[in-house]
Amino acid sequence: MTDATGTVAPTAPPDPGPRTTAAPEPARLGLAGRLVDSQFSPIVFTIVLLVLLLWIGSLVSDPFVFPPLDRIAGSVWQVLTEQWGDMALTLVRFAAALAAAMVFGWALGLLMGAFRRTIGRFVNPLVAVVQAVPALSWVLLAILWMEVVETRIAFVTFMIAFPFFVIAVYEGIRDMDKDVLEAIEQFRPSRLQVLRILLLPQSVVNVIMTFRATAAMTLKLMVFAELIAADSGIGHRLQVAQSNFRVDAILAWTLLLVVANFLILWATDRVEKLALKWRAEAIVR
Protein backbone atom coordinates (compact mmCIF):
# COMPACT_ATOMS: atom_id res chain seq x y z
CA MET A 1 0.00 0.00 0.00
CA THR A 2 1.42 3.43 -0.94
CA ASP A 3 0.35 6.87 0.17
CA ALA A 4 -0.04 9.95 -2.03
CA THR A 5 3.67 10.61 -2.10
CA GLY A 6 4.53 7.07 -3.10
CA THR A 7 5.80 6.11 0.32
CA VAL A 8 5.18 2.56 1.36
CA ALA A 9 2.79 2.65 4.26
CA PRO A 10 2.31 -0.14 6.75
CA THR A 11 -0.86 -2.07 6.12
CA ALA A 12 -3.58 -0.68 8.32
CA PRO A 13 -5.48 -3.21 10.38
CA PRO A 14 -9.17 -3.39 9.53
CA ASP A 15 -11.50 -0.97 11.25
CA PRO A 16 -12.80 -2.49 14.46
CA GLY A 17 -16.29 -2.34 12.96
CA PRO A 18 -19.63 -1.60 14.58
CA ARG A 19 -19.67 -1.34 18.33
CA THR A 20 -21.11 -4.32 20.05
CA THR A 21 -21.81 -4.75 23.70
CA ALA A 22 -21.25 -8.21 24.97
CA ALA A 23 -23.82 -9.13 27.58
CA PRO A 24 -22.11 -10.27 30.77
CA GLU A 25 -22.65 -13.90 31.75
CA PRO A 26 -25.42 -13.85 34.36
CA ALA A 27 -24.30 -15.13 37.71
CA ARG A 28 -26.16 -18.20 38.98
CA LEU A 29 -28.61 -17.15 41.66
CA GLY A 30 -30.65 -19.11 44.19
CA LEU A 31 -34.44 -18.82 44.47
CA ALA A 32 -34.18 -15.87 46.92
CA GLY A 33 -31.63 -14.15 44.71
CA ARG A 34 -33.82 -14.63 41.62
CA LEU A 35 -36.81 -13.18 43.48
CA VAL A 36 -34.83 -10.08 44.52
CA ASP A 37 -33.40 -9.75 41.00
CA SER A 38 -36.78 -10.02 39.24
CA GLN A 39 -38.03 -6.80 37.64
CA PHE A 40 -41.49 -7.41 39.14
CA SER A 41 -40.26 -7.80 42.73
CA PRO A 42 -40.28 -4.06 43.61
CA ILE A 43 -43.85 -3.75 42.27
CA VAL A 44 -45.08 -6.81 44.17
CA PHE A 45 -43.30 -5.56 47.31
CA THR A 46 -44.98 -2.13 47.03
CA ILE A 47 -48.47 -3.61 46.51
CA VAL A 48 -48.07 -6.03 49.42
CA LEU A 49 -46.82 -3.22 51.69
CA LEU A 50 -49.73 -0.92 50.77
CA VAL A 51 -52.33 -3.65 51.30
CA LEU A 52 -50.69 -4.45 54.64
CA LEU A 53 -50.81 -0.80 55.74
CA LEU A 54 -54.48 -0.50 54.70
CA TRP A 55 -55.30 -3.69 56.60
CA ILE A 56 -53.45 -2.54 59.77
CA GLY A 57 -55.12 0.88 59.47
CA SER A 58 -58.55 -0.73 59.32
CA LEU A 59 -57.74 -2.86 62.39
CA VAL A 60 -56.62 0.00 64.61
CA SER A 61 -59.05 2.75 63.60
CA ASP A 62 -62.73 3.40 63.14
CA PRO A 63 -64.14 1.86 59.90
CA PHE A 64 -65.59 5.29 59.15
CA VAL A 65 -62.05 6.77 59.08
CA PHE A 66 -60.24 3.74 57.66
CA PRO A 67 -62.62 1.30 55.97
CA PRO A 68 -61.79 -2.42 55.87
CA LEU A 69 -60.16 -3.91 52.79
CA ASP A 70 -63.27 -5.68 51.56
CA ARG A 71 -65.24 -2.41 51.53
CA ILE A 72 -62.46 -0.67 49.53
CA ALA A 73 -62.41 -3.63 47.13
CA GLY A 74 -66.20 -3.37 46.82
CA SER A 75 -65.88 0.32 45.94
CA VAL A 76 -63.25 -0.45 43.32
CA TRP A 77 -65.62 -3.01 41.80
CA GLN A 78 -68.49 -0.51 41.91
CA VAL A 79 -66.38 2.11 40.12
CA LEU A 80 -65.28 -0.38 37.47
CA THR A 81 -68.79 -1.74 36.80
CA GLU A 82 -71.11 1.21 37.48
CA GLN A 83 -69.07 4.42 37.30
CA TRP A 84 -66.54 3.55 34.59
CA GLY A 85 -68.07 6.26 32.41
CA ASP A 86 -66.66 8.96 34.71
CA MET A 87 -63.24 7.33 34.63
CA ALA A 88 -63.33 7.06 30.82
CA LEU A 89 -64.51 10.68 30.56
CA THR A 90 -61.56 11.93 32.65
CA LEU A 91 -59.07 9.87 30.65
CA VAL A 92 -60.50 11.09 27.31
CA ARG A 93 -60.39 14.70 28.55
CA PHE A 94 -56.82 14.12 29.73
CA ALA A 95 -55.68 12.60 26.42
CA ALA A 96 -57.35 15.29 24.30
CA ALA A 97 -56.14 18.25 26.36
CA LEU A 98 -52.60 16.92 26.73
CA ALA A 99 -52.41 16.08 23.02
CA ALA A 100 -53.58 19.60 22.15
CA ALA A 101 -51.07 21.13 24.59
CA MET A 102 -48.30 18.94 23.15
CA VAL A 103 -49.04 19.73 19.50
CA PHE A 104 -49.52 23.46 20.10
CA GLY A 105 -46.52 23.71 22.46
CA TRP A 106 -44.32 21.72 20.07
CA ALA A 107 -45.29 23.88 17.07
CA LEU A 108 -44.86 27.13 18.97
CA GLY A 109 -41.51 26.01 20.44
CA LEU A 110 -40.27 25.09 16.95
CA LEU A 111 -41.36 28.43 15.51
CA MET A 112 -39.70 30.25 18.39
CA GLY A 113 -36.52 28.24 17.84
CA ALA A 114 -36.48 28.67 14.06
CA PHE A 115 -37.18 32.42 14.29
CA ARG A 116 -35.39 33.12 17.56
CA ARG A 117 -34.61 36.79 16.96
CA THR A 118 -38.24 37.66 16.28
CA ILE A 119 -40.86 35.16 17.48
CA GLY A 120 -38.55 33.56 20.07
CA ARG A 121 -37.55 36.79 21.78
CA PHE A 122 -41.05 38.21 22.01
CA VAL A 123 -43.08 35.09 22.78
CA ASN A 124 -40.73 33.60 25.39
CA PRO A 125 -41.65 36.10 28.16
CA LEU A 126 -45.36 35.61 27.43
CA VAL A 127 -45.01 31.84 27.83
CA ALA A 128 -43.10 32.40 31.08
CA VAL A 129 -45.99 34.54 32.40
CA VAL A 130 -48.56 31.86 31.47
CA GLN A 131 -46.45 29.23 33.22
CA ALA A 132 -46.18 31.35 36.36
CA VAL A 133 -49.98 31.64 36.80
CA PRO A 134 -51.12 29.26 39.60
CA ALA A 135 -53.29 26.32 38.54
CA LEU A 136 -56.02 27.41 40.98
CA SER A 137 -56.26 30.80 39.27
CA TRP A 138 -56.86 29.10 35.90
CA VAL A 139 -59.59 26.94 37.48
CA LEU A 140 -61.36 29.93 39.05
CA LEU A 141 -61.05 32.01 35.90
CA ALA A 142 -62.40 29.12 33.81
CA ILE A 143 -65.48 28.87 36.07
CA LEU A 144 -66.15 32.60 35.68
CA TRP A 145 -65.31 32.86 31.99
CA MET A 146 -66.82 29.66 30.59
CA GLU A 147 -70.19 28.00 30.91
CA VAL A 148 -69.57 24.66 29.27
CA VAL A 149 -67.84 22.19 31.60
CA GLU A 150 -65.82 20.52 28.84
CA THR A 151 -64.43 23.87 27.73
CA ARG A 152 -63.45 24.74 31.30
CA ILE A 153 -61.56 21.49 31.85
CA ALA A 154 -59.87 21.60 28.46
CA PHE A 155 -58.87 25.23 28.98
CA VAL A 156 -57.38 24.64 32.44
CA THR A 157 -55.45 21.53 31.41
CA PHE A 158 -54.19 23.15 28.23
CA MET A 159 -53.04 26.33 30.00
CA ILE A 160 -51.19 24.32 32.63
CA ALA A 161 -49.48 21.88 30.24
CA PHE A 162 -48.60 23.72 27.04
CA PRO A 163 -45.92 26.11 28.44
CA PHE A 164 -43.86 23.09 29.54
CA PHE A 165 -43.76 21.81 25.94
CA VAL A 166 -42.98 25.24 24.48
CA ILE A 167 -40.11 25.88 26.88
CA ALA A 168 -38.68 22.35 26.51
CA VAL A 169 -38.67 22.50 22.69
CA TYR A 170 -37.37 26.09 22.58
CA GLU A 171 -34.59 25.45 25.07
CA GLY A 172 -33.74 22.18 23.29
CA ILE A 173 -33.23 24.12 20.05
CA ARG A 174 -31.18 26.79 21.82
CA ASP A 175 -28.94 24.07 23.25
CA MET A 176 -28.63 22.39 19.86
CA ASP A 177 -25.18 21.22 18.83
CA LYS A 178 -23.87 24.15 16.73
CA ASP A 179 -21.45 21.83 14.96
CA VAL A 180 -24.26 19.67 13.60
CA LEU A 181 -26.13 22.79 12.46
CA GLU A 182 -22.97 23.98 10.67
CA ALA A 183 -22.60 20.58 9.00
CA ILE A 184 -26.14 20.83 7.64
CA GLU A 185 -25.82 24.50 6.69
CA GLN A 186 -22.91 23.67 4.37
CA PHE A 187 -25.59 22.41 1.94
CA ARG A 188 -27.35 25.80 2.09
CA PRO A 189 -30.79 24.58 3.19
CA SER A 190 -33.89 26.78 3.36
CA ARG A 191 -35.29 27.70 6.79
CA LEU A 192 -38.07 25.16 6.22
CA GLN A 193 -35.55 22.41 5.44
CA VAL A 194 -33.60 23.19 8.64
CA LEU A 195 -36.89 22.94 10.54
CA ARG A 196 -37.85 19.61 8.96
CA ILE A 197 -34.45 17.92 8.80
CA LEU A 198 -32.85 19.17 12.00
CA LEU A 199 -35.10 20.98 14.48
CA LEU A 200 -38.19 18.77 14.28
CA PRO A 201 -36.44 15.40 14.79
CA GLN A 202 -34.19 16.84 17.47
CA SER A 203 -37.15 18.18 19.44
CA VAL A 204 -38.74 14.72 19.66
CA VAL A 205 -36.46 13.99 22.64
CA ASN A 206 -37.61 17.15 24.45
CA VAL A 207 -41.28 16.46 23.72
CA ILE A 208 -41.16 12.88 25.00
CA MET A 209 -39.24 13.88 28.14
CA THR A 210 -41.72 16.69 28.79
CA PHE A 211 -44.66 14.35 28.24
CA ARG A 212 -43.19 11.92 30.75
CA ALA A 213 -42.56 14.68 33.28
CA THR A 214 -45.91 16.45 32.93
CA ALA A 215 -48.40 13.63 32.25
CA ALA A 216 -48.81 12.59 35.89
CA MET A 217 -48.94 16.19 37.11
CA THR A 218 -51.46 17.15 34.43
CA LEU A 219 -53.75 14.24 35.32
CA LYS A 220 -53.69 15.22 39.00
CA LEU A 221 -54.38 18.89 38.23
CA MET A 222 -57.17 17.90 35.85
CA VAL A 223 -58.88 15.85 38.56
CA PHE A 224 -58.48 18.86 40.83
CA ALA A 225 -60.10 21.07 38.17
CA GLU A 226 -62.96 18.56 37.81
CA LEU A 227 -63.44 18.60 41.57
CA ILE A 228 -64.10 22.33 41.52
CA ALA A 229 -65.42 23.11 38.06
CA ALA A 230 -67.16 20.00 36.67
CA ASP A 231 -70.25 17.85 37.23
CA SER A 232 -68.71 14.69 35.81
CA GLY A 233 -65.44 12.80 35.79
CA ILE A 234 -63.20 11.42 38.52
CA GLY A 235 -62.78 14.78 40.24
CA HIS A 236 -66.55 15.21 40.49
CA ARG A 237 -66.91 11.65 41.85
CA LEU A 238 -64.27 12.38 44.48
CA GLN A 239 -66.16 15.50 45.48
CA VAL A 240 -69.39 13.49 45.81
CA ALA A 241 -67.61 10.80 47.86
CA GLN A 242 -66.21 13.46 50.18
CA SER A 243 -69.68 15.01 50.63
CA ASN A 244 -71.08 11.58 51.55
CA PHE A 245 -68.20 10.74 53.91
CA ARG A 246 -67.28 7.74 51.67
CA VAL A 247 -63.59 7.22 52.50
CA ASP A 248 -63.73 3.81 50.77
CA ALA A 249 -64.84 5.45 47.49
CA ILE A 250 -62.10 8.11 47.79
CA LEU A 251 -59.49 5.37 48.28
CA ALA A 252 -60.93 3.36 45.38
CA TRP A 253 -60.73 6.33 42.98
CA THR A 254 -57.25 7.17 44.28
CA LEU A 255 -56.12 3.61 43.66
CA LEU A 256 -57.44 3.70 40.10
CA LEU A 257 -55.75 7.06 39.48
CA VAL A 258 -52.44 5.61 40.64
CA VAL A 259 -52.88 2.64 38.31
CA ALA A 260 -53.77 5.00 35.42
CA ASN A 261 -50.61 7.01 36.11
CA PHE A 262 -48.49 3.87 36.00
CA LEU A 263 -50.11 2.80 32.72
CA ILE A 264 -49.45 6.23 31.19
CA LEU A 265 -45.79 6.07 32.24
CA TRP A 266 -45.49 2.54 30.87
CA ALA A 267 -46.98 3.61 27.53
CA THR A 268 -44.62 6.62 27.43
CA ASP A 269 -41.70 4.27 28.05
CA ARG A 270 -42.72 2.11 25.10
CA VAL A 271 -43.08 5.14 22.81
CA GLU A 272 -39.73 6.49 24.01
CA LYS A 273 -37.96 3.20 23.29
CA LEU A 274 -39.42 3.13 19.80
CA ALA A 275 -38.92 6.80 18.89
CA LEU A 276 -35.47 7.17 20.45
CA LYS A 277 -34.00 3.81 19.49
CA TRP A 278 -31.00 5.64 18.01
CA ARG A 279 -29.82 6.80 21.42
CA ALA A 280 -26.95 5.07 23.15
CA GLU A 281 -27.90 4.97 26.81
CA ALA A 282 -25.05 5.35 29.27
CA ILE A 283 -25.18 2.93 32.16
CA VAL A 284 -23.36 3.91 35.35
CA ARG A 285 -21.89 0.76 36.86
Partner 1 sequence: MNQPNAVVTFTDVNQRFGAVTAVEELSLRIGQGERLAILGRTGAGKSTLLNLLIGNLRPTRGTVRVDGLDPYAQHAELQGVIGMAFQTPRLLPWRTALDNVAVGMEILGVPQSERLERARTWLGKMHLADSAGLFPSQLSGGMRQRVSLARAFSIEPALVLLDESFSALDEVTARQLREEFVELAEAERKTALIVTHNIEEAFAISHRVLLLGRPARILAEYAVSDCPAVGTTDFGDLRRSIHQQMVDATRAAMA
Residues making contact with partner 1 (CB under 8 A): 1, 3-9, 12-13, 15-19, 177, 179-180, 182-184, 186-189, 193, 197-198, 201-202, 204, 276-280
- Considering the complex, state which of residue 15 and residue 25 has its C-beta at the smaller distance from partner 1: 15
- Considering the complex, state which of residue 217 and residue 275 has its C-beta at the smaller distance from partner 1: 275
Distance (Å, whole) CA 260 – CA 223: 12
Phi then psi for residue 251, to 5 deg, are -65, -40
- Considering the complex, state which of residue 121 and residue 191 has its C-beta at the smaller distance from partner 1: 191
- Considering the complex, state which of residue 258 and residue 276 has its C-beta at the smaller distance from partner 1: 276
Residue 195 Cβ vs partner 1, minimum distance, rounded to whole Å? 12
From first CA to last CA, the distance across the chain in angstroms is 43
Residue 192 Cβ vs partner 1, minimum distance, rounded to whole Å? 11
Residue 204 Cβ vs partner 1, minimum distance, rounded to whole Å? 8
What's the number of CA atoms in the CB half-sphere (13 Å) around residue 65? 7
Q: Which residues pair with 241 in a beta bridge?
A: none
Residue 117 Cβ vs partner 1, minimum distance, rounded to whole Å? 17
The percent of the chain in helix, strand and coil, each rounded to the nearest 5, is 75, 0, 25
Distance (Å, whole) CA 9 – CA 236: 79
Q: Cα 1 vs. chain centroid, distance in angstroms?
A: 56
- Considering the complex, state which of residue 200 and residue 217 has its C-beta at the smaller distance from partner 1: 200
Residue 182 Cβ vs partner 1, minimum distance, rounded to whole Å? 7
Residue 249, number of CB atoms within 10 A of its CB: 24
Residues 6+ apart with CB under 8 A from 239: 227
- Considering the complex, state which of residue 107 and residue 275 has its C-beta at the smaller distance from partner 1: 275
Residue 165 Cβ vs partner 1, minimum distance, rounded to whole Å? 19
